[in-house]
Amino acid sequence: MTAESSIMMVSHGLYGILWMLSCFGQFLSEDLQFPGPANGAIGGSVVFRPDNPPATSDELIQWHFGPIPILTVQSDLTLIAPAYRDRVSFDRTTLALELQNLRLDDSGIYRLTVDTLTGETLLHVFENITNVRLTGPKEPLIEEESTANITSNGTGNITSVQWMKDNSPLSPSNSIIFSSDNRSVSISKVQRSDSGEYQCTYSNPISSGTAKLSLVINYGPNDVSIKGKDVVDLGVRVSLSCSANSEPAASFSWKFNGSDTGVTTDTFTIEQTDFKDSGDYECTALNSLTKRNTTKNHALLVKVGGGGKVGGGLSSGAIAGIVIGVLVAVAGICGLIVYLTKNKKIPKINLSKSGPARGGAQTRQDAVGDFHFLFSHHSITFYYITNITNTYWERAVIVTNCNSVIQPQR
Ligand SMILES: *[C@@H]1O[C@H](CO)[C@@H](O)[C@H](O)[C@H]1NC(C)=O
Ligand SMILES: *[C@@H]1O[C@H](CO)[C@@H](O)[C@H](O)[C@H]1NC(C)=O
Ligand SMILES: *[C@@H]1O[C@H](CO)[C@@H](O)[C@H](O)[C@H]1NC(C)=O
Ligand SMILES: *[C@@H]1O[C@H](CO)[C@@H](O)[C@H](O)[C@H]1NC(C)=O
Ligand SMILES: *[C@@H]1O[C@H](CO)[C@@H](O)[C@H](O)[C@H]1NC(C)=O
Ligand SMILES: *[C@@H]1O[C@H](CO)[C@@H](O)[C@H](O)[C@H]1NC(C)=O
Ligand SMILES: *[C@@H]1O[C@H](CO)[C@@H](O)[C@H](O)[C@H]1NC(C)=O
């Protein structure tokens, strides 16, 4: 015997056999199925709609809230309880009941009966979540010293509390402890990595609210370092630059051989070194908030030719040697070009294309322009040239190089 046929039997005159009702009671309560518990917001509305409404014609249809009748329909007659008159609507086809202007006390069990078929569903009415706030520490937070308590607050029915830091979930750890209801978090002792934006979200099935709070962890100064030369030449400009890792930014002060210098910038500058500038430079970085300070020392030696060790690079002698070498090479190329040009090994520049000469006095007119004899050395003759036209710019580049190299002789 199937559940359905037994219901048919029940509906067709077997009312007296109550044991049968109780026996199939579990089937009866499942006759009309609902999608699951419904959630509503105070002031909002909700629709209870059975998944499997039977085809009805003249049956008795009833909606109850617990034991309280809401609505009774039979034939053309629809009866709505006075308490619900202005806030329910009913769809005869789907048997759906809409309940409007929800109140907290509407939470509970709603039962639909169609003759002997019945089914029930559950409603939760929630207060919307509003006014979510975060309260953080009032005092500045100092690394490895302070405890940061963040407390959340808000109104409404809160079913879950979630915390994020810099948009990633915040998880409990040795130093991060949540209260049992998750509404506050305690960070002890704070680290600089705890700086950031904290976010707390209260939610329930119908609403949520989020609050944010930024924490700044003050630290340092750490890793104080001085950048600058160790050995410098006499009479040069020298800068020593002090830096530190610090929140808020550190202030600096400088001592020389143990005495205050009055310099309170990150850079200590000597405009022109003197032998008496040799000695010990001490930079103190001070964080006014953490009240911590850290010092770093730097020895400076001023000596003649002391720039030699600069950056561990070339000595001034080597640099001079290179410069002279380059000069000689360029001069050599210039000489060679001039020599080849004069000996027709390179096509001469047609002067007619170069237009009128710019310079007034033309010492020695030549096909390439104005050559001004400079000096002769090891059978190479040096000239400098003026009056180069755009037409021969390629050669002019080479020649201009000569020009610039030998320019002081002009
Ligand atoms: C609660 O929120 C819902 C939707 O978010 C809205 O329809 C309803 O009016 C709100 N109720 C109150 C009391 O603010
Ligand atoms: C932070 O919260 C913990 C535990 O609730 C408490 O013991 C501690 O005193 C609080 N610290 C501060 C700085 O508020
Ligand atoms: C939350 O705020 C309410 C009123 O705004 C206040 O009465 C309550 O004490 C606060 N709770 C906490 C934990 O701060
Ligand atoms: C929602 O909060 C009200 C009081 O603010 C309370 O009476 C009610 O039981 C709560 N509902 C739920 C589902 O927590
Ligand atoms: C607190 O939050 C954690 C995850 O962040 C969760 O596992 C836990 O169930 C929550 N506790 C309460 C009481 O909400
Ligand atoms: C500073 O100290 C260095 C070495 O300690 C010393 O050679 C130098 O003369 C001192 N300079 C001054 C101006 O006191
Ligand atoms: C640096 O800190 C020490 C104590 O650690 C203190 O004696 C000194 O005065 C501080 N210096 C400055 C410049 O604040």
Domains identified in the chain and CATH numbers: 31-126 (2.60.40.10), 130-215 (2.60.40.10), 221-312 (2.60.40.10), 316-409 (no CATH)
Mutational pocket test of ligand 1: of 101, 125, 127, 128, the residue with most ligand atoms within 8 Å of the beta carbon: 128
pLDDT at 402: 42
Q: Tell the burial category of 82 from Cβ atoms under 10 Å away from its Cβ (0-12, 13-18, 19+).
A: exposed
Over residues 132-154, the pLDDT tens digits come to: 999 999 999 999 999 999 999 99
Mutational pocket test of ligand 3: of 153, 155, 161, the residue with most ligand atoms within 8 Å of the beta carbon: 153
Residues 97, 87 contacting (CB under 8 angstroms) = no
Atom of ligand 2 nearest to the CA of 147: 13
Over residues 273-327, the pLDDT tens digits come to: 999 999 999 999 999 999 999 999 999 999 998 875 444 445 555 555 555 665 6
Q: From atom 6 of ligand 3, which residue's Cα is the shortest distance away?
A: 153
Is there an atom of ligand 6 within 6 Å of 297 CB? no
Bridge-partner residues for 280, per DSSP?
A: 299
CA of 44 to the centre of ligand 1 (A): 6
CA of 219 to the centre of ligand 2 (A): 21
Is there an atom of ligand 3 within 6 Å of 151 CB? yes
CA-CA distance, 238 to 241, in Å (whole number)?
A: 10
- Among residues 187, 129, 136, the alpha carbon closest in space to that of 160 is found at 129
Q: Which ligand is nearest to the CA of 43?
A: 1
Whether the per-residue pLDDT at 371 is higher than 80: the answer is: no
Whether the per-residue pLDDT at 379 is higher than 60: the answer is: no
Looking at per-residue pLDDT, the higher value among 159 and 19 belongs to 159
In this structure, the number of other CB atoms found within 10 A of the CB of residue 231 comes to 16
- Among residues 355, 385, 382, 383, the alpha carbon closest in space to that of 368 is found at 385
CA-CA distance, 362 to 161, in Å (whole number)?
A: 93
- Among residues 278, 277, 270, 273, the alpha carbon closest in space to that of 239 is found at 270
Mutational pocket test of ligand 2: of 141, 147, 152, 181, the residue with most ligand atoms within 8 Å of the beta carbon: 147
Percent of the chain topping pLDDT 90: 65
Q: What is the DSSP letter of 58?
A: S
CA of 36 to the centre of ligand 1 (A): 22
Atom of ligand 1 nearest to the CA of 41: 1
Strands 130-135 and 108-114: unpaired
pLDDT at 340: 62
Place of tokens 């569903």: 121
Q: Which ligand is nearest to the CA of 132?
A: 3
Range with the lowest mean pLDDT among 16-25, 184-193, 198-207, 281-290? 16-25
Residues 242, 225 contacting (CB under 8 angstroms) = yes
Handedness of CA 261, 262, 267, 269 (dihedral sign): negative
